[in-house]
């Protein structure tokens, strides 16, 4: 049964993206996206991802990315579906704990983060705090992938990120302090570099001023200058 499911997913992938020789029919692709949303298949995609083999997961993640880009008039139908089923985003974030599916989920999450409404949900969800753990996972590939997703969340939509940092200032920077004071040298170095990147974004100017004027954080940064 699993083999049949994976064959169907591969066929769906070829239909959505072409087979290398024949380009996909865009009207057909859009119709498939609408039907997938109507029948709740996106939820099944996410829920059954851990059950698939390596190729099946890869094909499904590829299909996911194509489906999210489909537009009806000015609306992305699959993005709207996820907006109404945000538990799918929480599920994908939690899946970073699963070694087998973590990288697939990372790809799927970064596609979601391209859309402001989905990125905003993840930022403000309880699941967001998990990224502060994920970037220190012992598996280098997964930790690096989680860091890429974390960076996307904090840089892709500048105004939304600025609003988030203002309203969650204490909570966010207390969590970030853990990365800056991590026992892992690579984590400390990457965290300092990324902190400077997103604080220097124009919408974050006031946040940066507040941050550098706080003695508790200034002490940490001065200490890091000695060891990095």
Per-residue pLDDT tens digits for 80-90: 999 999 999 99
Q: Is the pLDDT of residue 20 over 90?
A: no
Contacts of 172 (CB under 8 A, 6+ apart): 164, 165
List, for residues 145-160, the tens digit of each pLDDT value: 999 999 999 999 999 9
Q: pLDDT grade, residue 227 (50/70/90)?
A: low
Task: Look up residue 98 and give its DSSP letter.
Answer: -
- CB-based contact 112:122 (threshold 8 Å): yes
Task: Look up residue 19 and give its DSSP letter.
Answer: -
pTM of the model: 0.92
- In three-state secondary structure terms, 113 is helix
Contacts of 141 (CB under 8 A, 6+ apart): 103
List, for residues 40-59, the tens digit of each pLDDT value: 999 999 999 999 999 999 99
Q: Is the pLDDT of residue 63 over 90?
A: yes
List, for residues 85-133, the tens digit of each pLDDT value: 999 999 999 999 999 999 999 999 999 999 999 999 999 999 999 999 9
Q: How far apart are the first and last CA of the chain?
A: 53
Q: Is the pLDDT of residue 225 over 90?
A: no
Task: Look up residue 157 and give its DSSP letter.
Answer: S
List, for residues 194-220, the tens digit of each pLDDT value: 998 999 989 999 999 999 899 888 888
Q: Is the pLDDT of residue 72 over 80?
A: yes
């Amino acid at each position: 049964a699993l083999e049949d499911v994976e064959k169907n997913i591969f066929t769906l992938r070829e239909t959505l993206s072409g087979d290398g020789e024949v380009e996909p029919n865009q009207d057909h692709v859009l119709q498939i996206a609408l039907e997938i949303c109507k029948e709740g298949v996106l939820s099944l995609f996410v829920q059954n991802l851990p059950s698939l083999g390596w190729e099946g997961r890869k094909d499904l993640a590829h299909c996911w990315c194509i489906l999210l880009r489909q537009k009806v008039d000015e609306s992305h139908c699959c993005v709207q579906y996820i907006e109404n089923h945000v538990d799918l985003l929480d599920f994908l974030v939690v899946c970073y704990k699963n070694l087998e599916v973590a990288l697939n989920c990372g790809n799927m999450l970064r596609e979601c983060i391209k859309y402001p409404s989905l990125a905003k949900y993840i930022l403000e969800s309880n699941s967001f705090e998990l990224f502060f753990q994920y970037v220190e996972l012992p598996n280098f590939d997964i930790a690096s992938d989680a860091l890429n997703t974390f960076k996307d969340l904090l840089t892709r939509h500048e105004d939304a990120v600025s609003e988030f940092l203002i309203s969650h200032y204490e909570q966010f920077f207390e969590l970030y302090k853990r990365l800056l004071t991590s026992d892992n040298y690579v984590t400390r170095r990457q965290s300092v570099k990324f902190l400077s990147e997103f604080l220097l974004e124009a919408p974050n100017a006031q946040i940066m001023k507040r941050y550098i004027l706080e003695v508790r954080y200034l002490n940490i940064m001065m200490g890091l200058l000695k060891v990095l």
